[in-house]
């Protein structure tokens, strides 16, 4: 549909609705429900150079309006992904974005280089924000200096569009976004999960084996909308909004806060066709309002009580 395309660097997405990393694996199962070629793209599960088994169980816990996870970036490694999973995604006509992980800056660069050489990978999303890897949820995206040096390094290794995925577990998300932009990012996506914790009061044990976990789902949406608003006022590159999006109205909130595109994550577990419904709802909203997508981006205004007539 005209008026729905979004540019991320040199990549033109056919529309602004993507599937978020970690919530649809490498796309095989969701492809039974969703025509991946009709979406803006799929961001596949985070990948390192080698396969990883992730954290020990339990690693999922449902919370009010959300879930805690401590999967710990389980994955098959970038080479197996390219060999075994990418062909089906290519055949299905999907726009494929790889969520790139690394234990070191060198590994982030290596994985990005493999993506750069693989036909059928359209862009990378650098995951500098997973809370489930290091103790106390630390990650490169918590420091402005590390964000800048890592993105500058990876930028040199890739000619494909580079999205940087930001953490909400920071004091000043706009400052980190600015460092990513200065390092050469083509876009930023946010938010990754919010560091959380839940305890079984009968046993006194935490609900996840790593103690903490990443909170996702509708519970985090207002945090994500606020951060997208702050970041979109701080950078000139496109912002991709993520966090608790379940329907078109949720997505439109993010556009009005300043996002050019959105990703649907946890909602897929409850409703595997959520992304298609979000896309259809955006189309009918825009038709009803007689507007193009870029005419609603960043249009939110601060709400005020209407002053009543004196007397």
Ligand X SMILES: Cc1cc2nc3c(=O)[nH]c(=O)nc-3n(C[C@H](O)[C@H](O)[C@H](O)COP(=O)(O)O)c2cc1C
Does residue 217 belong to the site contacting ligand X (CB under 6 A)?
yes
- Range in contact with ligand X (rule: CB under 6 A) among 48-56, 103-111, 236-244, 293-301: 236-244
Does residue 242 belong to the site contacting ligand X (CB under 6 A)?
yes
Report the distance separating Cα 273 and Cα 59, nearest Å. 25
Does residue 243 belong to the site contacting ligand X (CB under 6 A)?
yes
Measured from the CB atom, the residue of 11 and 73 that comes closer to ligand X is: 73
Does residue 73 belong to the site contacting ligand X (CB under 6 A)?
yes
CB of 179 to ligand X, least distance (A): 18
Does residue 266 belong to the site contacting ligand X (CB under 6 A)?
yes
Count of alpha carbons within 13 angstroms of residue 119, beta-carbon side: 5
Measured from the CB atom, the residue of 91 and 104 that comes closer to ligand X is: 104
Does residue 46 belong to the site contacting ligand X (CB under 6 A)?
yes
Does residue 245 belong to the site contacting ligand X (CB under 6 A)?
yes
Does residue 22 belong to the site contacting ligand X (CB under 6 A)?
yes
Measured from the CB atom, the residue of 208 and 266 that comes closer to ligand X is: 266
List 55, 127, 158, 169, residue binding ligand X (CB under 6 A): 127
The verdict on whether 130 is a catalytic residue reads yes
Q: What does the DSSP assignment read for the chain?
A: -TT--EEETTEEESSSEEEPTTSSTTSTTGGGTS-GGGSSEEEEEEE-SS-B--SPSP-EEEETTEEEE-----B--HHHIIIIIHHHHHHTT--EEEEE--SSHHHHHHHHHHHHHSTT--EEEEE---TTSSGGG--GGG-HHHHHHHHHHHHHT--S-EEEEPPSSSS-HHHHHHHHHHHT-SEEEE--PEEE--B-TTT--BSSTTS-EEEESGGGHHHHHHHHHHHHTT-SS-EEEESS--SHHHHHHHHHHT-SEEEE-THHHH-TTHHHHHHHHHHHHHHHHT--GGGTTT------PPPPPP-
Strand order across the 213-216 sheet: 60-63, 66-69, 213-216, 194-196
List 11, 220, 239, 261, residue binding ligand X (CB under 6 A): 220
CB of 299 to ligand X, least distance (A): 22
Measured from the CB atom, the residue of 231 and 264 that comes closer to ligand X is: 264
CB of 297 to ligand X, least distance (A): 19
CB of 219 to ligand X, least distance (A): 8
- Within residues 128-157, the interface with ligand X by CB under 6 A covers 130
Report the distance separating Cα 43 and Cα 26, nearest Å. 8
Choosing from 130, 139, 246, 300, which is the catalytic residue? Answer: 130
CB of 168 to ligand X, least distance (A): 9
How many residues bind ligand X (CB under 6 A)? The answer is 26
CB of 2 to ligand X, least distance (A): 27
Residues that bind ligand X (CB under 6 A): 20-23, 45-46, 69, 71, 73, 99, 127, 130, 165, 192-193, 216-217, 220, 242-245, 264-267
- Catalytically active residues are 130
């Amino acid at each position: 549909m005209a008026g729905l395309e979004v540019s991320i660097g040199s990549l033109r997405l056919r529309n602004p609705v993507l599937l978020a990393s970690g919530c649809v694996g490498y796309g095989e199962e969701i492809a039974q429900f969703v025509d991946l070629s009709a979406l803006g793209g799929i961001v596949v599960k985070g990948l390192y150079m080698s396969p990883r088994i992730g954290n020990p169980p339990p690693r999922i816990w449902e919370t009010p309006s959300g879930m805690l996870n401590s999967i710990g970036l389980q994955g098959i490694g970038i080479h197996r992904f390219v060999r075994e999973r990418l062909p089906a995604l290519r055949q299905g006509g999907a726009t494929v974005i790889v969520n790139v992980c690394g234990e070191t800056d060198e590994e982030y660069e290596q994985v990005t280089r493999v993506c750069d050489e693989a036909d059928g990978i359209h862009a990378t999303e650098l995951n500098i924000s997973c809370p489930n890897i290091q103790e106390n949820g630390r990650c490169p995206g918590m420091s402005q200096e590390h964000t800048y040096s890592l993105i500058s390094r990876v930028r040199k290794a890739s000619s494909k569009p580079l999205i940087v995925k930001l953490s909400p577990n920071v004091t000043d998300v706009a400052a980190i976004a600015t460092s990513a932009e200065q390092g050469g990012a083509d876009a930023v996506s946010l938010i990754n999960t919010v560091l959380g914790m839940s305890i079984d009061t009968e046993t006194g044990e935490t609900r996840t084996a790593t103690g903490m976990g990443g909170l996702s789902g509708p519970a985090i949406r207002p945090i994500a909308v606020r951060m997208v608003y702050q970041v979109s006022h701080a950078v000139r590159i496109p912002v991709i909004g993520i966090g608790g999006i379940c329907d078109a109205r949720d997505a439109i909130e993010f556009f009005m806060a300043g996002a050019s595109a959105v990703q649907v994550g946890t909602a897929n577990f409850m409703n595997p066709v959520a992304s298609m419904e979000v896309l259809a709802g955006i189309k009918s909203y825009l038709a009803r309002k007689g507007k193009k997508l870029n005419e609603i981006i960043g249009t939110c205004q601060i709400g005020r009580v209407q002053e009543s007539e004196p007397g």
